[in-house]
Amino acid sequence: MITEINVRFVAFVSSLAKAGANLPLDYLEANLNSEHFSHTYKHYEFPQGTIFLRDVDEKPVVMNEKDLLTMGPSHA
């Protein structure tokens, strides 16, 4: 029998949120505003070539892989 569910949102989830899949917000709305939350399955899709650079010590970066090599040294 399930007695507890612990949701642990880790660093990468902010990158997903920046790209449009805000899982912590979905979780809060489902639990705090359940009568207005759509509980139907959500399939998040991102444009072809989307890459996520994780935010450990800096803001998350979401970009297309083709733009990665054109970034200047100030983004390194």
Q: Which residues have a Cβ under 8 Å from the Cβ of 62 and sit 6 or more positions away? A: 15, 18, 19, 50, 51, 52, 53
Winning range, highest mean pLDDT, from 46-50, 55-59, 66-70: 46-50
- Position 15 scores a pLDDT of 79
The pLDDT tens digits of the residues spanning 7-35 come to 777 777 877 888 888 888 888 888 888 88
Domain spans in the chain, listed from the N-terminal domain onward? 13-70
Cα–Cα distance measured from residue 2 to residue 41, given in angstroms and rounded to the nearest whole number: 22
Write down the number of H helices and E strands in the chain.
3, 2
More confident residue, 32 or 70: 32
